[in-house]
Amino acid sequence: MSGSASPVALVTGCRSGFGLLTAVELARRGTVVYAGLRDVQTAGPLKAAAGELPVVPVQLDVTRGDQRAAAVERILAEQGRIDVLVNNAGVAVGGFLEQITEDELRHVLEVNLVGAWALVQAVLPAMRRAGRGHIINLSSISGRMALPGLGAYAASKFALEGLSEALAHEVGPLGIRVCLVEPGPYRTDIFGRNRRVTTGTLADDPYAARAARLMELTERATAAAGDPAEVARKIADLCRQDRPALRHPLGRGSRLRLAARALLPFSVWAWLVARLTTPRPGGPPSDGAAADQDRRL
């Protein structure tokens, strides 16, 4: 493949969900997309969705420095530039922080934070030479408000928010735009087929009842989650904007929840979270009662 006048993007985590849809949406709008896959042998669904669009699967485990370097070097050799980086690859592990193992926490941080930072470092020299570029980091509503049972995931996304905010200050004067896309619940594999729960155990588990309640809430949120294509379209829109805002919360109720978290004293917010996540005596609340609590939060 020889270089072209079309924009060039690198998107990570393209096996399914936001990554696959974003790669296809960008290509549909005329971008040459290199779609990172932890195992390039799993590119079947991506190829089927892309059809004849300019989407090139590339081997890219974001935790491996050799694969990060090889992917960026290949794009620059074939296209001469990288205009867009979408750091989408992500993992989550459910579990209370006393239970989470050190290896699990390190893996979440390696993928969601360190891998994203390392790819930013890898593409910035080319973007600086061009005097332009877009870096889109996939955060989450969990990067602005932390809930029980998702502490490891929230920690990685809170950190990604801080990294991205500092990055926006650093590279904005160089013509490079940084955005955080913050989805709420959407129908993706991270909380579906690829959902992971900690392997850590406690001899006397004080969290079992709350964990069961949180699993119930997760199932309900997944069933009512939004269409992930909405997020892909938003990312593609941001890549065409000259001066996009830094943060972009998406999903039903996300802006309202973030506003409530920002305005309410933590003690009040903690009371609301406890009301939602604590099982009631005599068993779980009825669907109607649970739905009412969900709306309040």
Reported as type and span, the H/E element at residue 48 is helix 44-50
Q: Give residue 133's region: left, alpha or beta (phi > 0; psi -120 to 50).
A: left
Catalytic residue among 34, 153, 186, 207: 153
Residue that the structure tokens 């300019």 belong to: 54
Max distance between CA atoms of the chain, in angstroms, equals: 67
Check: CB of residue 87 under 8 Å from CB of residue 11: no
Specify whether 34 is catalytic.
no
Give CA 160 to chain center in angstroms. 10
Residue that the structure tokens 């998406």 belong to: 250
Query: CA neighbours within 13 Å on the CB side: how many for 71?
Result: 32
Closest CA to 103 of 155, 60, 152: 152
| C-alpha dist (Å) from residue 78 to 2, 121, 145, 161 | 5, 20, 41, 32
Q: Which residues are the active-site residues?
A: 153
